[in-house]
């Protein structure tokens, strides 16, 4: 049987990622403990509260388990998931996982516009690059380092990026009915990395 794609199920909107994978017919499972990563083909870190994720990951042993898992397997992080995976957070001291070389600013859009919806451009979707970007108390990507490449833009800002095995975005594709980003992660990372 094909291995299931894992979704970190500690907190946040993991159920909506499960819905997107269900729509695509991709087998998936929730990951709450280190042993859940066994027989898992990749891991999605959902939106939620990045400090809570980091605390719970430390308590459950998932922090070290995910760091080991990431040596071979692909990861995707949305919003808080991006913060957890980033190497540097400009405006906060956080012990992130450092699995993708970029600097982000937490809650970057300020109090007035915590949340907004705007079209973003996703470069790999060459023929139809426009994607409905849902930003909720979103971080901003300030700079990319090392082998990290920009894959998506909101105006001139990078909102989606990748390295060899990690894909991150500051918005929430799981909040739309458009499953192209989940399919892209599955096809270009899970099935090839
Ligand atoms: N503001 C949250 C954080 O800093 C992220 C919000 C989200 O995931 N929608 O962790």
Delimit the domains of the chain by residue range. Answer: 4-190
- pLDDT tens digits for range 171-183: 999 999 999 999 9
Determine the pLDDT at residue 109: 84
Determine the pLDDT at residue 52: 97
Determine the pLDDT at residue 110: 73
Ligand 1 mean position to 126 CA, how many Å? 29
β-bridge mates for residue 141, sequence order: 104
Of 13, 57, 78, 83, the residue with max ligand 1 atoms within 8 A of its CB, to mutate for a pocket test, comes to 83
Whole-structure pTM value: 0.96
Strand order in the sheet with 86-89: 86-89, 100-105, 140-144
How would you class 68 by CB atoms within 10 Å of its CB: exposed for 0-12, middle for 13-18, buried for 19 or more?
exposed
Q: Which atom from ligand 1 is nearest to the alpha carbon of 51?
A: 10
How would you class 103 by CB atoms within 10 Å of its CB: exposed for 0-12, middle for 13-18, buried for 19 or more?
middle
- Which residues have a Cβ under 8 Å from the Cβ of 191 and sit 6 or more positions away? none
CA dihedral over 141, 148, 78, 103, signed as positive or negative? negative
CATH architecture, range 4-190: 3-Layer(aba) Sandwich (3.40)
Number of other CB atoms surrounding residue 143 within 10 Å: 12
Determine the pLDDT at residue 1: 57
Residues with CB under 6 A from ligand 1: 47-50, 79-80, 83, 106-107, 136-137
Residue ranges of the chain with pLDDT lower than 50?
none
What does DSSP assign to residue 1? -
Catalytic residue among 79, 103, 114, 156: 79
Determine the pLDDT at residue 193: 76
């Amino acid at each position: 049987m094909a291995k299931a794609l894992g979704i970190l199920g500690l907190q946040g909107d993991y159920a909506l990622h499960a819905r997107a994978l269900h729509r695509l017919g991709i087998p998936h499972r929730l990951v709450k403990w280190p042993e859940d990563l066994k027989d898992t083909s990749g891991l999605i870190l959902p939106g939620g509260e990045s400090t809570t994720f980091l605390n719970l990951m430390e308590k459950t042993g998932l922090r070290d388990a995910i760091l080991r898992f990431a040596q071979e397997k692909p990861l995707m992080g949305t919003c808080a998931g991006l913060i957890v995976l980033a190497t540097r957070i400009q405006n906060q001291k956080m012990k992130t996982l450092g699995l993708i070389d970029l600097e982000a600013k937490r809650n970057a859009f300020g109090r007035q516009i915590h949340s907004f919806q705007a079209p973003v451009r996703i470069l790999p979707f060459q023929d139809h690059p426009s994607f409905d970007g849902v930003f909720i108390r979103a971080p901003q990507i300030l700079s990319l380092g090392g082998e990290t490449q920009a894959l998506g833009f909101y105006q001139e800002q990078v909102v989606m990026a990748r390295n060899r095995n990690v894909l991150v975005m500051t918005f929430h594709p799981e909040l739309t009915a458009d499953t192209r980003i989940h399919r892209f992660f599955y096809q270009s990372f899970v099935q090839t990395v």
